[in-house]
Chain A
Amino acid sequence: MDNRFLTDNRDLPFCKGCGHTGIATCTERALQKLGFDPLDVIFVTDIGCHGIIDKSLRSHTVHGLHGRSVALAGGIAAGLGQRSDKKVIVFIGDGGATIGMQHLLVAAHHNFPMTVVIHNNMLYGMTGGQPSEFTPTGFNTPAIQRSAAGAIDMVKLMEAAGATYVSRLTGIGDFTDALAEAFAHPGFSVVEVMEICTSYGVKSNPGMKLKQVVEAAGLHPYKNIRPSNTSDHAFEAYSGYQNSLITDKLKVEKEFEPVIKGTVRILLSGSASEGVQSAAEFLARTAMMSGLFSTKKGHYPVTVGVGFSVAEVIISDQPIFYTGSTHPDFMVITSKDGLDYAMPRIKNAIDSVVILDSTLEAPETKARIVTADLRAMAGSRNVAMMSIFWLIHNYGILSEESLHTAYGRNKLSAKVPISTFTDKL
Chain B
Amino acid sequence: MTETSQKQMAFIDGSRLIIEASVRAGAGVYIGYPITPANLLYSYANQRFPAMLAAPDEITALQWMSGYASLGILPVTATAFPGYSLMIESINMAMMMELPMVIILAQRLGPATGTATAGAQGDIAVVHGTVSGGYPLPTFCISNLDDCWELTEKAVKTAISLRTPVVLLSSKEMIMTQMSYDLSKLSEISPAVWKHFDGVSDFKPYETDESLIPDFLPLSQNKHQVRFTASTHNKEGILQNTTPEALANSSRLKAKIEKHAESFLYYDFDHQQGADTVVMSFDITAQAAREAVQRLRSEGRKVSLLIAKTLFPIPEKYHEILDTFSKVVIAEENLGGQYRHLLFGSQIPSHIKGVNAIGRMIQPEEIMKEVKSNG
Within 8 A of B (CB), among A74-128: 74-80, 83, 86, 102-103, 106
User: Is residue B51 within 8 Å, beta carbon to beta carbon, of the partner chain?
Assistant: yes
Given contacts A79-B68, A250-B183, A288-B11, are A68 and B177 in contact (CB under 8 A)? no
B56: chain A residues at CB < 8 Å are 102, 106
User: Is residue A395 within 8 Å, beta carbon to beta carbon, of the partner chain?
Assistant: no
A40: nearest chain-B partner, CB-CB: B222
In the bound assembly, the distance between CA atoms of A86 and B23 in angstroms comes to 27
In the bound assembly, the distance between CA atoms of A86 and B226 in angstroms comes to 14
CB distance A294 to B180 under 8 Å? yes
Within 8 A of A (CB), among B78-129: 89-90, 93, 97, 116-118
A323: chain B residues at CB < 8 Å are 173, 177, 179, 284, 287, 361
Shortest distance between the CB of B338 and any CB in chain A (Å): 21
B116: nearest chain-A partner, CB-CB: A302
Shortest distance between the CB of A250 and any CB in chain B (Å): 4
B231: chain A residues at CB < 8 Å are 63
In the bound assembly, the distance between CA atoms of A73 and B219 in angstroms comes to 11
Chain A, residues 248-285, CB within 8 Å of chain B (1/0): the string is 00111110001000000000000000000000010011
Within 8 A of A (CB), among B260-291: 284, 287-288, 290-291
A72: nearest chain-B partner, CB-CB: B63
In the bound assembly, the distance between CA atoms of A246 and B186 in angstroms comes to 10
Given contacts A80-B71, A243-B48, are A254 and B97 in contact (CB under 8 A)? no
Chain B, residues 172-200, CB within 8 Å of chain A (1/0): the string is 01001111100100100000000000000
User: Is residue B138 within 8 Å, beta carbon to beta carbon, of the partner chain?
Assistant: no
In the bound assembly, the distance between CA atoms of A176 and B71 in angstroms comes to 29
Q: Which residues of chain B have a CB within 8 Å of any CB of chain A?
A: 1, 4-5, 8-12, 16-17, 19-20, 23, 29, 31, 36, 44, 46-54, 56-57, 59-60, 63-68, 70-71, 73, 75, 89-90, 93, 97, 116-118, 173, 176-180, 183, 186, 219-231, 237-239, 284, 287-288, 290-291, 294, 360-361, 363-365
In the bound assembly, the distance between CA atoms of A5 and B8 in angstroms comes to 60
Which of these binds chain B: A130-138, A190-198, A314-322, A353-361? A314-322
B177: chain A residues at CB < 8 Å are 295-298, 323
In the bound assembly, the distance between CA atoms of A251 and B89 in angstroms comes to 43
Among B8, B49, B180, chain A packs the most CB atoms within 10 A around the CB of B180
B238: chain A residues at CB < 8 Å are 54-55
CB distance A322 to B291 under 8 Å? yes
A40: chain B residues at CB < 8 Å are 222
A245: chain B residues at CB < 8 Å are 16, 19-20, 44, 47-48
CB distance B219 to A246 under 8 Å? no
Given contacts A54-B227, A75-B67, are A320 and B219 in contact (CB under 8 A)? no
Which of these binds chain B: A209-217, A233-241, A382-390, A409-417? A233-241
In the bound assembly, the distance between CA atoms of A54 and B234 in angstroms comes to 13
CB distance A297 to B219 under 8 Å? no
In the bound assembly, the distance between CA atoms of A182 and B48 in angstroms comes to 36
A-B contact number at CB 8 A: 223
CB distance B44 to A252 under 8 Å? no
Could you tell me the dominant secondary structure of chain B's interface residues? Answer: mixed
Additional pairs, 16, CB under 8 Å, beyond known A246-B16, A295-B179: A39-B225, A55-B238, A61-B227, A61-B228, A62-B219, A63-B239, A64-B230, A71-B59, A74-B67, A76-B71, A103-B60, A241-B46, A241-B52, A243-B48, A245-B16, A320-B179
Shortest distance between the CB of B78 and any CB in chain A (Å): 15
CB distance B222 to A79 under 8 Å? no
Within 8 A of B (CB), among A305-342: 317, 320-324, 326
Q: What are 9 sample pairs from A and B whose C-beta atoms fall under 8 A apart?
A: A54-B227, A61-B228, A63-B231, A71-B63, A73-B67, A254-B5, A258-B1, A281-B11, A291-B4
CB distance A322 to B67 under 8 Å? no
Within 8 A of B (CB), among A25-46: 37, 39-40, 42
Shortest distance between the CB of B117 and any CB in chain A (Å): 6
Among B17, B36, B177, B360, chain A packs the most CB atoms within 10 A around the CB of B177
CB distance A64 to B93 under 8 Å? yes
Partner of B47, one of A37, A68, A241: A241
